[in-house]
Amino acid sequence: MPHRPLTSRRVRAVPPPLGTALLVASLLAGCGKPAKPPPPPPAAVDVVTLHGAPVVITTEHPGRITAHRVADIRPQVSGVILKRLFTEGDVVRQGQPLYQIDPRPYEASLASARATLAKARAAVVAARLMVKRYRPLAKAFAVSSQDMDNAVASLAQDDADVASGEASVRTAEINLAYTRLAAPIAGRTGRSNVTEGALVTAEQTTALVTVTELDPIYVDVPETSATLLRLKREYAAGALEREPDGSAAVSLVLEDGSVYPQQGKLLFSEVNVDASTGSVILRALFPNPDGLLLPGMFVREDIREGIRQNALLVPQRAVTHDSRGLPTALVVGADDHVAQRTLQTDRAIGTDWLITGGLSPGDRVIVAGLQQARPGALVTAREVTIDGAAVKPVAPATTPTPAPQH
């Protein structure tokens, strides 16, 4: 069988499909320039929708308890203390005896004064009889005019001695009464500075004991003169809550945070402004039947100024300050974009700020996620409510499930 000569064969290249070519081209192009990443999703923030509501406006002031009346018991006569007639710390009534000074020297002085008075009265009787006897004799020229004048003068002198004796007796009676020291006011006694047998002197500087009246009791609060003027204007306008007698009502918060059960009334008793601090003392009067309030205690006094209708409260965590120090807040608009508002704040009420300008009812204020939110940025807002320090999401409204159709 004859053999065919070997000849070279030409291999024909088959073109790749179109899709494969585009994929290769794109890969080659990607090797030269990286692809652009997709944009980040909108930041998630928590918002609170503002609603106007009545808010009780109160002004809080730190203050100190001051006794209504204080009496330092000091002796007005000298002598030795025989008895202490009270127990330290007891409540005493007005006029109750507290100490007994040895009365014997003063009883003797009183007896001597009374004897001197009796002698002067006897001299008056004798002088009056002498004048009565001399008068007809002087008319008959049986005695000289000089003798008559001497008798009349002697009677006047004896009358003066009687008056002096009566004054001496009264002084001795007063000194004897001073030997029994009584409480000039009702109140609670402190510790006694003397015991039985101690020698005391009249009008000494050291008090034997101090009696403090605790019911009612004062609360003194330092406040700026500007605040005092505002309170007086509100009081004159009837904005301050008043007691039945027309005084402004106040309440107390004690050192342990508890609220004092009795309500007091505000007294504008201070008339001088401290030039160094620009402050005045606001004084309030509180009933203290149980003796719970003691002089020197630190308290916080709340003056109820009234109720502000349709007030806007914004959580303090939502309020920041700009470079000028002005309070600002971030608000999410209807298009879910963030806008910055400059606020006008009145005062702090609990954990909120009372807003008087910059926000309106219905505004959605950002309370969480402030670091991710910027003015003009698109965000995803979640409605929450704030109960104290806890943030709770608002439950979405449920839509009834439609009944299946057959």
Contact 65, 299 (CB under 8 A): yes
pLDDT bin (cut points 50, 70, 90) of residue 276 is: confident
**Which pairs count as long-range contacts for 358-362, CB under 8 Å and 24+ apart, including other chains?**
358/329, 359/50, 359/312, 359/314, 359/329, 359/331, 360/50, 360/312, 361/50, 361/51, 361/52, 361/310, 361/312, 362/49, 362/50, 362/51
For the chain, counts of helices (H) and of strands (E): 4, 21
Predicted local confidence at residue 143, as pLDDT: 82
From residue 15, alpha-carbon distances to 12, 27, 391 in Å are 10, 19, 66
Chain centroid, CA 331 distance in Å: 37
Q: What is the CATH number of the domain that holds 184?
A: 2.40.50.100
Q: Residues 128, 228: one domain?
A: no
Q: Indicate whether 384 pLDDT > 50.
A: yes
Q: Indicate whether 109 pLDDT > 90.
A: yes
Predicted local confidence at residue 243, as pLDDT: 61
Percent of the chain with pLDDT strictly greater than 90: 33
User: Which has the minimum average pLDDT: 38-42, 139-143, 151-155?
Assistant: 38-42
Q: Indicate whether 402 pLDDT > 80.
A: no
Residue 287 and residue 217: Cα distance in Å, rounded? 6
Could you give the number of structural domains in the chain? 4
Predicted local confidence at residue 22, as pLDDT: 47
Work out the mean pLDDT of the chain and round it to a whole number. 82
Residue 188 and residue 208: Cα distance in Å, rounded? 14
Q: Residues 137, 200: one domain?
A: no
Q: Indicate whether 18 pLDDT > 50.
A: no
Residue 154 and residue 376: Cα distance in Å, rounded? 114
Q: Who has greater pLDDT, 392 or 317? A: 317
Q: Who has greater pLDDT, 46 or 308? A: 46
Residue 233 and residue 265: Cα distance in Å, rounded? 17
Mean pLDDT of 121-140: 88
The residue type of 110 is L
Q: Residues 230, 124: one domain?
A: no
Predicted local confidence at residue 148, as pLDDT: 86
Predicted local confidence at residue 269, as pLDDT: 61
Question: What are 394's two structure tokens?
Answer: 């608002």
- Taking Cα atoms as reference points, which of 218, 226, 220, 219 lies closest to residue 273? 226
Question: What are 61's two structure tokens?
Answer: 């002031």
Neighbours of 272 (CB within 10 A): 7
Predicted local confidence at residue 389, as pLDDT: 46
Question: What are 74's two structure tokens?
Answer: 């000091």
Residue 30 lies in a domain: no
pLDDT bin (cut points 50, 70, 90) of residue 394 is: low
Q: Who has greater pLDDT, 230 or 377? A: 377
Q: Indicate whether 331 pLDDT > 70.
A: yes
Predicted local confidence at residue 221, as pLDDT: 86
Q: What is the CATH number of the domain that holds 374?
A: 2.40.420.20
Of 257, 288, 308, which closes a domain?
A: 308
Mean pLDDT of 306-332: 86
What is the extent of the structural domain holding 345? 48-54+309-393
Predicted local confidence at residue 147, as pLDDT: 85
pLDDT bin (cut points 50, 70, 90) of residue 11 is: very low
Instruction: DSSP for 288-321, please give it.
Output: -TT----TT-EEEEEEEEEEEEEEEEEEGGG-EE
Terminal C-alpha separation, the chain: 85
Residue 399 lies in a domain: no
Q: Residues 372, 315: one domain?
A: yes
Contact 108, 159 (CB under 8 A): no
Q: Residues 333, 347: one domain?
A: yes
User: pLDDT digit string (tens) for 74-92?
Assistant: 999 999 999 999 999 889 9
Q: Indicate whether 400 pLDDT > 60.
A: no
Residue 157 lies in a domain: yes
Identify whether 216 is preceded by a cis peptide bond (ω within 30 of 0): yes
Predicted local confidence at residue 397, as pLDDT: 42
Predicted local confidence at residue 125, as pLDDT: 93
